[in-house]
Amino acid sequence: NAGVTQTPKFQVLKTGQSMTLQCAQDMNHEYMSWYRQDPGMGLRLIHYSVGAGITDQGEVPNGYNVSRSTTEDFPLRLLSAAPSQTSVYFCASGPGQGITEAFFGQGTRLTVV
């Protein structure tokens, strides 16, 4: 099983550019989430989805868009990149029943110059 796959692994953007971080899971999980990790701040939730067609905002949603058209995919869109969005981004997924651990992708290191 591939698990949770994020692409790209590294990206450099110029201020104002837009891009999409891809996330795909092959475990038929209902829940998918995006987090950003900044030094000293742990992981903070950006957006999450509890199923296809359903998304909601997390703690730090500004500047990001998501959609969930299929169970497998949950892309994160940066509309107009800013230096403050320089971070490491993680996608995670989890099954819908009960409380279980989240499975994480390998992360995307994004630098906005």
Partner 1 sequence: AQKITQTQPGMFVQEKEAVTLDCTYDTSDQSYGLFWYKQPSSGEMIFLIYQGSYDEQNATEGRYSLNFQKARKSANLVISASQLGDSAMYFCAMRGFNQGGKLIFGQGTELSVKP
Contact residues toward partner 1 (CB under 8 A) are 30-33, 35, 40-45, 48-50, 58, 88, 90, 92, 94, 96, 98-104, 106-107, 109
Which CB atom, from 17 or from 103, has the smaller least distance to partner 1?
Answer: 103
Q: What is the closest distance, in whole angstroms, from the C-beta atom of residue 102 to partner 1 in the complex?
A: 6
Q: Which residue has the tokens 């509890």?
A: 50
- Using CA atoms in the order 16, 64, 85, 62, what is the torsion angle rounded to 10 degrees? 100
Which CB atom, from 81 or from 89, has the smaller least distance to partner 1?
Answer: 89
Which CB atom, from 2 or from 99, has the smaller least distance to partner 1?
Answer: 99
Q: What is the closest distance, in whole angstroms, from the C-beta atom of residue 80 to partner 1 in the complex?
A: 26
24 - beta bridge partners? 5, 73
Q: What is the closest distance, in whole angstroms, from the C-beta atom of residue 16 to partner 1 in the complex?
A: 27
Q: What stretch of H or E contains 26? A: none
- CA–CA–CA angle 16, 21, 2 (5° rounding): 165
Which amino acid is it at 106? Answer: Q
